[in-house]
Amino acid sequence: ERLQTAIRESDALGRKGEDEFLILLSELITGDDDTPTEQKTNMIRKNIAIVVNRISECLSRPFNIQGQKFYVRASIGVSICPNDADSAQAMLEHADSAMYHAKETGRGRCVFYNNELHKRQERRLAMDSQLRLAMEKGEFVLQYQPIIEVIKGKGTIVGVEALLRWNHRIDGLLEPAAFLGIAE
């Protein structure tokens, strides 16, 4: 109900999942066909930003459920048609990709889809597949790094730190920073 108050009459609101909603914004541009493309794109982005701000404002008020206040923030992904996608399915996928990027970079943000997000998602999917295969093939190894205590110029090994590495068949030995975020 609250989201419905944030959008315009010409827009459509639908529920995608438990905590995901789709909003189709229409009539984002005014003017004629002679308006330069860049100017149209800027106008569209400006009008989207207005709606996004209204959504954020309406969700910033607490929800009162059984006498308890709950606060939510929306992570919003935006895909612009026809600039970003040539089909409804691609538009949904791109908006979804932008939304997940918004969540990763700090909840309560709005991210517009761009080709770099698409490339990043493709790399993540490829890495995910490679990680599963690496698990099956036993490509993960532990390396031990000594912990040395230095007293009066003399070093003594007092322990070791176990470091996980991925012995990648193409890229060689990879540190966790290269794969841990995807593995989790």
Give the end of a domain, one of 85, 113, 141: 113
What is the predicted pLDDT for the residue at 119? 87
C-beta contacts of 151-155 below 8 A and 24+ residues apart: none
- 107 and 128: one domain? no
Q: Which residues pair with residue 12 across a beta bridge?
A: 24
Q: Which of 36, 40, 5, 9 is nearest to 25 (CA)?
A: 9
- 8 and 96: one domain? yes
CB 175 within 8 A of CB 165: yes
- 108 and 131: one domain? no
- 41 and 79: one domain? yes
What is the predicted pLDDT for the residue at 166? 93
Q: Which residues pair with residue 154 across a beta bridge?
A: 151
Number of domains in the chain: 2
Digit-coded pLDDT (tens) for 94-109:
999 899 889 888 878 9
What is the predicted pLDDT for the residue at 31? 65
Give the end of a domain, one of 94, 113, 132: 113
CATH number, domain with residue 46: 3.30.70.270
What is the predicted pLDDT for the residue at 141? 94
184 residues of the chain, pLDDT tens digit each: 889 988 888 899 999 888 899 999 988 877 666 777 788 888 888 989 999 999 999 988 999 999 999 998 899 999 988 888 889 899 999 999 899 889 888 878 999 999 898 888 888 888 889 999 999 999 999 999 999 999 988 999 999 999 999 999 888 999 988 888 777 7
- 107 and 23: one domain? yes
Domain span at residue 27 reads 2-113
